[in-house]
Structure 1
């Protein structure tokens, strides 16, 4: 029931993320005006603003001017709901936490889930990772993860969390300095945030999460080249793959790392 509730909550958050993705790059208010059709300007009625459902009821068109509504809107809502449900399921079933610590860790990961979707879409659209999202993420992530560590009575995890943030931040900064224009400073700043989460979870999660970003980004680049939609000089946003890799590290990092160590004969 908790997983279902969190999933439904994710649908609602997904609806808000659509607003963030559209308005934040334009530096518009996320609060006012309310949801409205970008063509006719008519406010969206509350019953036409139900996540996923309303889009199908309206057959993908504005009720007033019949302007097509992008299928990305219900897709973002649905994906957010599924990711939120997946996070809840993982925290409740797999994460080594209990009691109130479960709540704080769940909040930390749900925040990352929402931020991941917003940043990935904005980066794909504009090739930027806005400071207005990345900056506060340091504070929110650190506060919730510190609270979780203290509730668990494991302050040592905080050192690993800080180490993870420092390692990824410095690594991405070195890549950005080594090849100007290849890796943006937005990627460097995001790396620190992801390092907080992955480092807190464990060295295996950190290693697998960091490596997976380059695997996913590499496959994406190869696919674009094969389809003729990019060339060797094309700028490709890396933020979505950093975020995707981080989630691989979160959900499967430690088991994959343990399996790798066992394979190479280093498991102890």
Structure 2
């Protein structure tokens, strides 16, 4: 059952990844993600439906525009493939549960925000702010759990996690504004919703892992002389990766820690 669900989620992820390519390109530029239809930036020809099949079309066209031969970046199929794999792994981990839609939504915005932050060092409000009501609605559904036992305590934890992580990042920006921006603060609230829903251990580990992983990456850049002490790095990807660690491993590590005490 889980294998079939993962395969279906992977196929959906490929299609979502194709859309995310549009989001990553247009949202930072303030453009609509639905109009006009995608076209070759060189010759202006619209992308035909048969040339818009995730991954497959890029391979068939050998990475070039059908009309003018302009190279098409390999990033496009890689984003589609990565999103498909991420969706499949998420479905495999969560199974057929009501929390799965919430996690798939987080995976989708995670891919988009990671790429945008790497490209522009920004986390656009157009993606982050709508994620509050969307994530909350999906987590309400997960807490309600139609057909099973409801867990409204998880929703209360989610709201506390949202407020707590937002406050922590807000204070961090006030104390050390060079370290991160208010886009990170806004994203922290969304991630706090998810981490709090999964448990206090997830919340603590998700917060800690972001700074640990981001710090290790920064130290690596310094050692390799790829950055200086004043160089800025996008922190959004590390927040998202830390949240993933918290969701997957947080409660297990938290329980082991309490058991050791």
When normalised by structure 1's length, the TM-score is 0.92
1:207 alignment partner in structure 2: 204
- After superposition, the C-alpha distances for 1:184-243 in whole angstroms (9 at most, x for unaligned) are 000001000000000000111111111111122112212222332211101111001000
Is 1:91 aligned with 2:94? yes
Tell me how far apart the structure 1 counterparts of residues 219 and 62 of structure 2 sit (CA, whole Å).
Answer: 35
- In the alignment, which residue of structure 2 is the partner of 1:144? 138
Correspondence for 1:254 among 238, 251, 254 = 251
- 1:261 to partner: Cα distance: 3.3
TM-score, normalised relative to structure 2: 0.94
SS in 2 for 1:182: coil
SS of 2:99's equivalent in the other structure is helix
Corresponding position of 2:120: 126
Within 5 Å, which residues of 2 pair with 1:178-197? 178-197=175-194
Deviation at 1:145, TM superposition (A): 0.7
2:197 and 2:35 map into 1 onto residues whose CA distance is: 37
Partners of 2:220 and 2:178 lie apart in 1 by 22
The alignment partner of 2:114 has SS state of: helix
The list of structure 1 runs, each at least 4 consecutive aligned residues, that deviate by more than 3 angstroms after superposition, is none
Deviation at 1:89, TM superposition (A): 0.8
SS where residue 62 of structure 1 aligns? coil
Q: Compare 141-150 and 198-207 and name the one that shifted more.
A: 141-150
Superposition RMSD in Å: 1.3
Q: 1:232 aligns with which of 205, 226, 229?
A: 229
Q: Structure 2 CA distance, aligned partners of 1:227 and 1:41?
A: 42
Q: Within 5 Å, which residues of 2 pair with 1:1-268?
A: 1-92=4-95, 102=97, 104-151=98-145, 152-262=149-259, 265-266=260-261
Q: Distance in 1 between matches of 2:25 and 2:244?
A: 24
Please give the per-residue CA displacement for 1:117-167, whole angstroms capped at 9, x wherever unaligned.
Answer: 001111111111111111110101111111221233221112211111111
